[in-house]
Structure formats: structure tokens, C-alpha cells
Amino acid sequence: MPDEKKVIPKKKPVEPRELTTCEATAQMLAKARKDGVELAFDRAQNMKACPIGADSACCKHCFMGPCRLNAKDPYAKVGVCGATIDTIMSRNFARAVAAGCAAHTDHGMAMLDLFREVLEGHIKDYEIKNVQKLYYVAQEMGIETEDREVKDIAMDLYKELERTYTQVDGELPFAKRVPEKTLETWRKEGIVPRGAMREIMELLHRSAIGVDQHYANITKQCSRTALADGWGGSMVATEIADILFGTPSPIAIETNMGVLKEDQVNIIVHGHEPNLFESMVASVAEPTLIQAAKDAGAKGLNLVGMCCSGLEMFSRHGTPHAGNFMSTETVLVTGAVDAMVVDVQCIKQALAQVAECYKTQLITTNPRARIEGGKHIEFHEDKPKECTDEIVIQAIGRFKNRGVEVEIPNIVNTGVHGFSHEYINYMLGGTFRASYTPLNDNIINGRIRGVAGVVGCNNPRMKQDYVHVNLVKELIKNDVLVVQTGCSQIALAKAGLTTPEAAHLAGPGLKEVCETVGMPPVLGLGACVDNSRILIACSEMVKTGGLGESIADLPVAGCAPEYMSEKAITIGQYFVASGVFTVFGVTFPIVEGTKFHKHLFEELEELGMGKWGFATDPFEIAKMMIAHIDKKRKALGIDKARERVLMDMADRRDMDAA
Ligand code: XCC
Ligand code: SF4
């Protein structure tokens, strides 16, 4: 008989609704437990984050180590080579920035490769859809457009933008878009990026053993590399995608797991590269494949997106979206997914396991990203439909023999998304006088207090979507217009805040603007690479006038409250270097009270940039962002205007009541 005292009681699993505010995800998490399937939610509970790593107090940059310092007493010890806590933390931070920048710029480079191949006629399934945007970007880059063939202009633009990656000296092309005073700050600091490849290479070099051992100098190269992402790799990805596939404009989109259809062949595309997804759109419209689905007993083919490529597709085509990062496993638990097609970035390896449990096909498509246990059908841009047609055929095959119980949460939310920075122009300014002047005017007169970018991932160490949703609610309630990208946008779409009707949740000033224009108080701008659209919007606001001379003067703030990816750190650093106060949640991989911490959280601002902030509670984060916005309003001398506007409103209400 076993000694009862020795039986370790199994840790009681945390209730699904404690782990997520997404109803559909909670429902599927409960089902997964019933089915005995383990998910990231469970693993996060059972795997405590390494406390030394969480503080970034360990170094494994050489094999005299790994060395561990004590975060509680950070200056008590140094590594074997003598590296201090500040060197160790800044080098770790640098490696994250390099990896994040590499991810976005490698993606951007792939878009540029596609552009070139299209222009050279090697790829025929894609074409330039948006000639107007091509002209616009080319002119900005100083390329002659008058009386010239589209193809020649495009080729010149290709050559110009290629420098974003390969240039070894000089300033990267989109530096032309940066407000003069911001650029001046960068020049003074020596952080204007040359080419992304060079910056990443130098950052990896400098963060190796025995090279750069001053945290402030390492931070400079972090900024330079991060800027090569925001104003470089990511911006090129966005602009080329717009030129090839069209610039998004507002469109009503369905989100949440209820977009899956029990009686249809469901195909989810999850990843980051729009070219694969564009070809999937063509394949599911193929009459022979639709017929094949019908022959298999399905009502049709249902194409659905997830995470970032899903965001690009829904803004361009209105393709429904099933959910964000922490729902990619749970969506498989529905049993309704006939194929999950992935390319690169944010694809949990565990998807292979979960897919197997529910007999779903997990299909990898990109030579850069394979997963053990997944089926690989390689995507070639010169014959894209070979891959995507085959995927549809495989999905139909699975539909025929689903062999698992199907349970789809009956939840669908509709929102309006696809607000490019160009569209914000038209929307506020009207077709005849498209400009940012009305936005600036509304900020100056105080109806809009400021603009906040709320972006980024989910992280199972936080209750899914909780911080995103409550933070955004708090911001709009205080008349702060919110712009969004990435998984955060999906959180708000599921919470119903991306509809024009959500204006009633906004403060009186923002509500008035939203109702006049007919726009939601929360504007979805696309995928994470489309954070570049936020940078361009900031730049336009400065150039329009009345709100200072540099991005650092603007009453704006940014936040990634539930981030998990290294890419988020890079994004945070390029916003900070561009002049934006940027708050992160979950955890910050730096020990408080150290010199490096002070540098990122205080000193960068003194140099004319933005600075970092950290908090985990949504209301606390909102308070920090609003305080910053108010500080900037005061510096601009427009704080009085806002007081007046609010008084006017109150007066008017009194009058209405009388
Ligand atoms: Fe990934 Fe881009 Fe983060 Fe979402 S927001 S978890 S990076 S999918 Ni881009
Ligand atoms: Fe240790 Fe220095 Fe080597 Fe890092 S670089 S592992 S601190 S000896």
C-alpha cells in the first residue's frame, strides 16, 4: 500500500477564465483539458520563468561562463571576464534587438525579392496593384516619375530600397521621411542606420565577449539597429506589400473562432508573409477546388487568418480572423480546422502536437521554418498555386475523414479595420483636402488629448487580452485616440471596440470627433511590420505643424502590454529612439536600480529621444501614458485649450439640461 503522505497532490489547474478574457479561448481550453491535451496556458503554469534569466542577470556569451550575477545585489559580483551587470544586461538586450530586427528585415527583404522578381518578369502570379502608391513612394525617394514607364520607376524604387538592407555607409533611404529635428538628434548620437545587415552585424559583434563594454555605447547600436527595422526593414515590407497587394482601407471584418464553419473546409493561415496568403485567396476561389470540396460533402472552402498575416489579409481582403497568438493552439481544439498553414514567426512548435491530437494537418510552407511532425509543402513564388492548391486538396481530404468531434464556440465579432496612415489622411481631411491638419487641430483644441499606439503580442504569463482591452478602454475614456497593430488589435476586435459604435465608450471630445467622422475610437493599422505606419503618422503630424518640431514633442505614447517576442523589444527600442514614451508590461529583462536601467528609463529622454516605462496593471499603464501626453501638451502650451474644451462641453451639457 502506498504511503499516503508521500503522494504529491497534483496542482489544481487554474480555471480557464482566470487565464483568458477571450470567451472562445476559455471554452476551448476547458475542452482541451477534458480531452487531456496540454497547451501553452498549462505549461506556463507548470514552468516557472527562470528568475535569473528574467532579470537578465546571466551571461553565456563565452565558454568561461555561463556566469550568473545576483539581481538582488547587482554590483556584488562580475562575470569571469569582469563583465558588470550593466554590460551583461545591455548585451542580452542587444541580442534581442538584433534578433527582432533580423526577423522583420528578413521578412521585408523577402517582400523586396518578390518585388524584383515580379518586375523582372520571373514571377507572373503577382503584379503591381497600387500604381498610385508606387508613384507616391518613388517621388518621396526623389525618383523621377513624369513621362516614365511604371516598370522603370518601380525598378529605380527597388534599387533605392535595396539599400535599406545592403548599404554599408550613409543614411538609409527612409531617413528622408524622418522629421528634421528628430534626424538631427540621431545624427548627433551617431545612430542614423546605414543598412540593416550592417547594423545587425555590428550589434552582434559588439555584444560578443570582450568588445563593447559600456552599456550606453551598446544602447547606441541597439537604437541604430532598431531604427533600421522601424524606418527600414518593416517600413519597406509595408510599402512593398501595399504596392503589390493594395493599400488597406477600412472594411468590416469578422473576428473570433465563430468564423469557422462546421459544414465547410476550414483552412487557417497563420504567420507573417502576405504572399503565401494572397495565393491561398486565389486557390480557394478556384472553381475546380470549390467543386472538389462540394463533392466531399462540404458547403465550400472557408479561408481564415490568424496573427499577423491574418491581419494583413483582413485589412486588404476582408478575410475573417480567428484569433491572436494565445488562441493558435486552442483554435485547433475545435476539431474544425482541416489545415493550419504556417510560414514564419510566432508559430508555437506545440501546434504540431495539438494538431495531431485533433487530426488537423499542420502544413509548413517556408524553407526557413520547418516543424518536426508538420507536413512540408514548399511555397515557391514563381509557381505559388502549386503549393496552395495542394494545401486545399489536403484540407478537403481531412474534411472527408474528420473523425473528431467538432465544437466551434459560437462567437463572432464584427469591427472596422484597415486604417492605413494614408486613409487617416482622407478620413479626417476629406478627399479634397486630405491632410493631417484636422487631426492636429483636434489635438490642439483638446478634443483629442493625444494618440496612443497599443500593440504587440499575448503572453501566457498574463491573462490573455485583459491588459490590452482594459488599457485601451481607459485611454479612449480619457480622450486618447488609440491606433493598433498586431495581436493587440485582435484583442480589441474581440472586445467589440473597433466599431464606430464603440465611440460611446470614449470621452466627450474623442466621441465627438469619432461621431463626426464615423470612425471607431480604436484604429487597426495592420500587422506588426505595419507599426511603420504609426511612425509615418507621427512624422506627418510633426510636418503638418502646431505640435512641435520632433516626434519627441508630440503628445503620443506607445505600449506593448502583453508582449512575448524579441521583435517587440526591437519595436519598443525604435519607438523610444524615434522619440516616443513606450511602456511594456509582463516583465522587463533588466534589474531596476542599475545604470543600464536608468539609461533606458530616464537618460535617453534627456538626449532628445523617448524613454522606456514598465507596469503590468492596465490602469497604471494608462495613467503613465496619459501623464506623459499631458506633460507634452503642457510643453507645447496647448494644455489650456483642453481645459477650455472640456469646460465648453460641460457648459453645453448644462445648457442642454436647462
Ligand atoms: Fe507574434 Fe505577429 Fe507578437 Fe502576435 S503580435 S505574437 S510578434 S503575431 Ni506581431
Ligand atoms: Fe562570463 Fe564574461 Fe563569458 Fe559572459 S562573457 S560568460 S560574463 S566570462
Mutate to test the pocket of ligand 2, among 58, 60, 61 (most ligand atoms within 8 A of CB): 61
**Can you say whether the dihedral through the CA atoms of 386, 311, 582, 25 is positive or negative?**
negative
What pLDDT is stored for residue 422 in this prediction? 83
The ligand placed nearest to the CA atom of residue 456 is 1
In angstroms, the first-to-last Cα distance of the chain is 82
The C-alpha cell that represents 590 in the structure block: 533588466
Q: What is the mean pLDDT of the chain?
A: 94
Q: What is the distance between the alpha carbons of residues 616 and 490, in angstroms, rounded to a whole number?
A: 20
The pLDDT tens digits of the residues spanning 526-571 come to 999 999 999 999 999 999 999 999 999 999 999 999 999 999 999 9
61 in contact with ligand 2, CB cutoff 6 A? yes
Mean local confidence (pLDDT), 125-134: 93
Mean local confidence (pLDDT), 267-276: 93
The pLDDT tens digits of the residues spanning 277-318 come to 999 999 999 999 999 999 999 999 999 999 998 998 888 889
49 in contact with ligand 2, CB cutoff 6 A? no
Q: Identify whether 66 is preceded by a cis peptide bond (ω within 30 of 0).
A: yes
Mutate to test the pocket of ligand 1, among 311, 346, 534 (most ligand atoms within 8 A of CB): 346
Q: At 65, which amino acid appears?
A: G
CA 455 to centroid of ligand 1, rounded, Å? 9
Q: What is the distance between the alpha carbons of residues 533 and 537, in angstroms, rounded to a whole number?
A: 6
What pLDDT is stored for residue 10 in this prediction? 59
The angle that helices 150-166 and 196-206 make with each other, rounded to 10 degrees, is: 10
Read off the pLDDT band of 2 (50, 70, 90).
Answer: very low
Closest CA to 436 of 530, 533, 539: 539
Edge-to-edge strand list for the sheet holding 375-376: 301-306, 265-270, 337-342, 361-364, 375-376
565 in contact with ligand 1, CB cutoff 6 A? yes
Q: What is the pTM of this model?
A: 0.95
Read off the pLDDT band of 649 (50, 70, 90).
Answer: low
What pLDDT is stored for residue 431 in this prediction? 55
CA 60 to centroid of ligand 2, rounded, Å? 6
The C-alpha cell that represents 413 in the structure block: 465579432
Which of 123-127, 397-401, 458-462 is least confident?
123-127
Question: Which has more pLDDT, 3 or 232?
Answer: 232
Mutate to test the pocket of ligand 1, among 530, 562, 565 (most ligand atoms within 8 A of CB): 565
CA 67 to centroid of ligand 2, rounded, Å? 6
Mean local confidence (pLDDT), 263-279: 94
In terms of Cβ atoms closer than 10 Å to its own Cβ (0-12, 13-18, 19+), residue 99 is middle
Q: What is the distance between the alpha carbons of residues 532 and 238, in angstroms, rounded to a whole number?
A: 7
The rounded Cα 241 to chain-centroid distance in angstroms is 16
Q: Are 366 and 388 in contact (CB under 8 A)?
A: no
CA 53 to centroid of ligand 2, rounded, Å? 14
CA 132 to centroid of ligand 1, rounded, Å? 30
The ligand placed nearest to the CA atom of residue 62 is 2
Closest ligand 2 atom, residue 60 Cα: 6
CA 487 to centroid of ligand 1, rounded, Å? 6
The pLDDT tens digits of the residues spanning 582-598 come to 999 999 999 999 999 99
The ligand placed nearest to the CA atom of residue 95 is 2
89 in contact with ligand 2, CB cutoff 6 A? no
The ligand placed nearest to the CA atom of residue 85 is 2
Q: What is the distance between the alpha carbons of residues 13 and 46, in angstroms, rounded to a whole number?
A: 9
306 in contact with ligand 1, CB cutoff 6 A? no
The pLDDT tens digits of the residues spanning 336-355 come to 999 999 999 999 999 999 99
